[in-house]
A and B are shown apart, each in its own frame.
Chain A
Amino acid sequence: MIALALTLLFPLLGAIVLGWLARPNASSLLNIAVSAAGAIASFVLALNVLASGPAGGKLFYIDPFNVYLIALTALVGFTTAIFSRPYMAHELEQGRIGGGRLRLYHASFQGFLFTMQLALSTNNLGILWVALEGATLATVLLVSLYRTPESVEAAWKYFILCGVGIAQALFGTVLLYLAASQAIPDTDDALLWTELYKHAAELEPSVMGIAFVFLMVGYGTKVGLVPLHNWLPDAHSEGPTPMSAVLSGLLLNVALYALVRVKMLVDGSLAEGTVHDPNLAGYLMMGFGMLSFIVAGLFLHRQRDIKRLFSYSSIEHMGLMSFAFGLGGPLATFGALLHMTVHSLTKSAIFVTVGHACQIAGTQSMEQIRGLISTQPNVGWGLLIGTVAIAGFPPFGVFTSEFLLLSATMDAWPWLTIPLLVGIAVAFSGLFRHLQPMVFGIKPPGQEALKINMLPVYLHLFLVLWLGLAIPGFIAGWFDQVTQLITGRGLL
């Protein structure tokens, strides 16, 4: 439990200290150090939980499902902190931000990591909501960090849409509490996930059905599901790129995590099938997931801003994951978990290269980003390989997970494989029609290489490649435990 406390305390203290620390160089180093410490603590926590099973009390509860996301969050947080050091130094140099804004950036970054870890580790579904809303609050000023009219507009949209969306989730939580207070004698414990899960079958199905609709709308907004996705491309494209990396790589995952947790309860409650279809939650998630997958794939073709392009790609992948979790069953769930991991790693690696590419070209407009490989080969190749990976090419992990998902779909809903395959093809063409001139095109005069740190990209892409070639037994066993937890049956 000490490891858990440290996982939460490092980012919290980091946020407070970094909010006061005025020296840019020292604070970016401290940012990396704090994130590294948090990551180490989370790995220790993960090993503990995997060795000795779920642990926790009323406040916190750690099982393989959330500890896996805690470790992923801490890892991506750490690598993004490494990335943000040269990135923010360049922004400071260019005069796009001042020292005060940098302080705000660092404090918000650690605050965001704290809310993510709190949302993942808490046992109380009410606190989960509070933490997810806290994540919005922590990042909203990051979106408007550059104070351009566009970024302020994006921040406003992000705040209002996510705020409204997640308010629906709070209403859903109230309904959940109502259903729970009938079944669980001590109402103070009635929002604890462990208690709810134990009594899931006794929860009133009529209320749980309505509650899930509200929770789906609420957390679905944060996941970025169409038609509630409008905030996502704006927030991703206007904020500093390290923030885009953590929003895409982490926040969306955590929101989806919340949705999956709730779905487990609703499935338990509706299992009788007297009031609603027992698979109501699954169908809703499949429907919204498929819609997001297709719509986002089509929108990829219309983009002109490179960060918007990859944020639509995030929507597309979140849609695919929601679809898979909705589909249920061990194979789909295993695939969705794997996809969550590889998507987080790949997408944050892509955003690292995208961030540097934009700095090299001095713009986010894809029409003006040209000749990356001839200017700075590691950025160009990093972007190319990252995009190849995210588009689902073998031998990367995204291919493996998408293959698993397609197999599961073929098994349960054969005709749904067609839109999935078409969607993958549409997304692939959408990505590569923009990408090809950017990486291979002719280098504009005067474009020079920057001093950057590509370690995060190498690390992430290596992990994705590894997961694609051979999933280590340790990771496979871990995912299998999670699959068992979610679906009741293991895959292996």
Chain B
Amino acid sequence: MVDLVNVLEWVFALLQMALFVVAAPLFTAWIKRVKCWLQNRRSPPLSQPYRDLRRLFSKQVLLAHTASPLFRTAPYLVFGTTVIAAAVVPLIALELPTARIADAIVLVGLFGLGRFFLALAGLDVGTTFGGMGASREMTVGALAEPAMLMVIFALAMGAASTNLSTVIHSMLAQGLALRPSLLFAFLALLLVGIAETGRVPVDNPATHLELTMIHEAMILEYTGRQLALMEWAAQLKLMIYGVLVCNLFFPWGIAQTLDPASLLIAGGLLSVKLIILGAVLAVAEGLVAKMRFFKVPVFLAVAFTLALVGMLSFVMLESAS
């Protein structure tokens, strides 16, 4: 006999994942809106990404002659891995059945898998831009992943676990403390997130200038619903990093039980955090210029160093008992 509560929890986990997926375009729209404000432009409505997606889904898919089956399946794989990644990250509640697989290394692995197919798809059609974008994406990825893992190790050492739920639990338990390891891990995660989600100054999602684009270059050949899935996956990835930053470093308010009141509070607080984070991101993007590609390794080396120092300072300064 199936335990009723357990079923309920699974239902809720699925609901949370759905919320994640549905809210992702909104986060992107919010960042764009703040940027518009900063540039004294009138912004598109917040519903614009949804309209774009709907439009793309209703359009016909056009395929290049050289496209292989891989090219056609890649969008589903990329979107799929990103959705599973979203399921792994705690959004507003902790005590969910998915918590057991909510492992940070799994998360990095899922992102790596998605990137792998994305890069293959970019190469598949055989256009110049696709290949260039894929090569750049893999370069960034190869540098960002070690930095990301360092961040995870720095956090995991504090909580003695790589499980995201456990990490958040221990963060909640420790209360307010000024810890160098967290400070540096936070800064490093921000940098890695910017690189991974293709934001300024590593990539510019708003441009199709051939010399600078990374992510856009790889999905240049996609049309219709396949393009929609690719874009949605990218928005989802941005949202996942945003939620990671908010929930790992500022977890206060996240629901530890499944009663409606605390869930409501958690949802509200998370929205506020994401709104602030999005605004900060938009302001930061407005202040810095996109860097030349060969500077990106330096950017990621900074992230890696910060995470490394974070881990070292945990061992050296915080672990003594």
Q: Do chains A and B touch in the complex (CB under 8 A)?
A: no
Residues of B within 8 A of A (CB): none
